[in-house]
Amino acid sequence: MKNYLRHDEWSIIEEGFHPEHNRISESVFSIGNGRMGQRANFEEGYGGETLQGSYVAGIYYPDKTRVGWWKNGYPEYFAKVLNAPNWIGLKIDIDGERLDLATCEVSHFRRVLNMKEGILERSFQARLKSGKEVKVHATRFCSIADDEAGAIRYSITLLNTSGVLSITSFIDADVVNQDSNWEERFWREVEAKTKKNQGYVTAETKKTAFQVCTGMKFTIFQNGAETDFTPFHTHRDKYVECSIDLPTKKGVETVVYKYAAVVSSLNHPVDQLMDHCKEVVKNSAKKGFEQMRLEQAAAWARKWEEADIRVDGDVAAQQGIRFNIFQLYQTYTGEDERLNIGPKGFTGEKYGGSTYWDTEAYCIPFYMATADQHVARQLLVYRHKQLQKAIENAEKLGFTGGAALYPMVTMNGEECHNEWEITFEEIHRNGAIAYAIYDYVRYTGDHGYLAEYGLDVLIAISRFWAQRVHFSERKQQYVMHGVTGPNEYENNVNNNWYTNYIAVWCLKYTLESIDFVQQQSAKRWKEIKAATRFDEKTESTKWQDIIKKMHLPQDKALGIYVQHEGFLDKDLLTVADLRPEDRPLNQKWSWDRILRSVFIKQADVLQGLYLFEDQFNEATLRRNFDFYEPRTVHESSLSPCVHAILAAKLGKKEKAYEMYLRTARLDLDDYNNDTEDGCHITSMAGTWMAFVKGFGGQRVYNDMLHFSPYIPENWKGYSFKIRFRGMFIEVVVSQDVVQIINRSKQSAALKVYGKKYTLKAEATLKVAHATR
């Protein structure tokens, strides 16, 4: 765990240069706007440890699978969101000597991510090997007001000498992915142009033929006046630059303004791509940096007005939750139904930037409550559009009759994960897709979604479960062998409780949904039945039999559900028995040792109890939590939030706070020693859930909002805001009272601590704290 970033309510601050942590900082200080984003690389380049990264949403490459032993059913490629052309680049030379913090003596270094306005700033002083000293202040952002534009203000002052300042502004599409399976370069040049102080490169991805045009225009000011210059132009494959040599006096500030555009063939015809890029660059330069910055601040202010969570009395907790919300909003805005949320967002290459089940299990609850309803709906429609691919994925593994297995990892609906224990076995992901449909309908009341899009997905998923189980004559029950549950520190196990449970739940919910659609629209049901070729008698009967006879392992003596068969035969150590030097296990132990151990990567049984907590009494929840949590190492970013919510429900306030702080500050403090690869974006939605569902006790039962708030002892107060069925509700909690504020023009029926209230439009309800 690192502790080098300063705690601040609205900013992430690094004071002093930490080259040993530079890749971590590049991840944490990343910026984006939903359409594009980038790691916090230095504009002037850096010769030390760095991971160059710029990314464009939806642009990917099918990197050929590389495995030691090919198995039937393996996907042929791993889809990767590519490192895209670098638009931020500047080369700075003083009398021919390159400015590079890897070779300089650095002082007064300060990096700030202003989350309130979406602005990244960096300042420092550097002493070059020649003894020349310079002062730099750089500011940049990816515009959320115009999501194809970015801007940089780069100020440099010679402190102890006059000299020739050489400035080179460039666009570089000759970039690589560090995680390339075959060390390929994924881009080819289509067109490149330079003119005066402008440069443009259109590059195309190999195989997928996406095109991206990246353009720039830069201006230079000295002593507040624009400098007229004629730059030198250089063009090589996939690269253009404009350079100027500028005589500069000691103490005079030179400011470079760089305006950039990144436009893709996802949104524009290829024959118009460069013209559109030029237009975006032209408009940005015409507005100017300060006007663009004002628009950026205003756009972020609107987002914070609806989604901010306030914590009084705990700066670390406050900074953590705002950082998580900030990263979520700059990763996905919901404006494009073709896009989804990669686990690393725009902060790194790991996991390929593709879609995982994280979206359904963690992100949809966040967007349902903090954005317009269509945003979460589009995330579900994204999966519906890929249903045929999911059916094809199942067919590759031998399933028939319209059964669907949604991919573990995908860009276009096709499975592209190539680890057998995940690709073939971590099938609980199908349950997450179905649960998201249920969760969306329950929260929004949009029952029409079932008939329009949801039911055919549910039928296909249920067909998969019906074929994936088999009947054990010895047990006289249905069983499911050879699976990996959410705990990826166990592979190829039999009868994982969570997987078996969610399979049964899916079958039940599908049958209930069929009944609902039949009653609501016999015509629509007839269409669905015909399209899916659903055999009402045979399939329904089989599903009912599985529901009735599924094996769900439990231990009556301990009063717990057993994670999988054989789990209790392990050496039942707890995390307290581990040495500090053994952590994290996935970086210190062999995989063999991990698989044989009792230690749990993330919530498994507890994942099911969290999702379906209303189906279990509190004593059952408590017994299982007390058994499994002490054996959980939380080495998945998705783990702490689930435990925080359950701990809060069970009144385990210290554990709830511990788990909340861990999920909120997972990347800021580098808990799992892996932030250098990128931030854990999808788990950040889990942080929001830990706060709202954990501390706020927010639930939806029977079409009604429920709250059971409590406040950690070291906090003075907190507040959060949520949307619910056209209403906008704010919850304000102090050590003395809970206030529910209806900021809508319609009344709201809700329950607080189990008691029903009717909250009139634009009214406030005050309730005394109750003991959880």
Which residues, listed in sequence order, are joined to residue 216 by a DSSP beta bridge? 199, 260
What letter does residue 580 receive in the DSSP assignment?
Answer: G
Q: Is 97 a catalytic residue?
A: no
Closest of 389, 61, 411 to residue 210, by C-alpha: 61
Round to whole Å and give the CA distance between 652 and 735: 18
DSSP string across 488-557: TTS-SBS--HHHHHHHHHHHHHHHHHHHHHHHH-HHHHHHHHHHHT--HHHHHHHHHHHHHHB---EETT
Of the candidates 121, 360, 488, 490, the residue annotated as catalytic is 488
CB 495 within 8 A of CB 479: yes
CB 122 within 8 A of CB 99: no
> Please, which contacts does 200-204 make with residues 24 or more away whose CB atoms are closer than 8 Å?
200/171, 200/240, 200/274, 200/277, 200/278, 201/85, 201/171, 201/172, 201/173, 201/238, 201/239, 201/240, 202/273, 202/274, 202/277, 203/85, 203/173, 203/238
CB 692 within 8 A of CB 722: yes
CB 154 within 8 A of CB 260: no
- What one-letter code names the amino acid at 219? T
Round to whole Å and give the CA distance between 701 and 699: 7
Maximal C-alpha separation, the chain: 89
Which residues, listed in sequence order, are joined to residue 310 by a DSSP beta bridge? 719
CB 113 within 8 A of CB 177: no
Paired tokens of 390: 């999911």
How far does Cα 232 stand from its chain's mean position? 41
- Number of residues that make up the chain: 772
Round to whole Å and give the CA distance between 147 and 312: 33
How far does Cα 698 stand from its chain's mean position? 22
First to last CA, the chain: 32
Q: What angle, 0 to 180 degrees and rounded to 10, lies between the N-to-C axes of helices 429-444 and 373-385?
A: 150
- As annotated, the active-site residues are 488
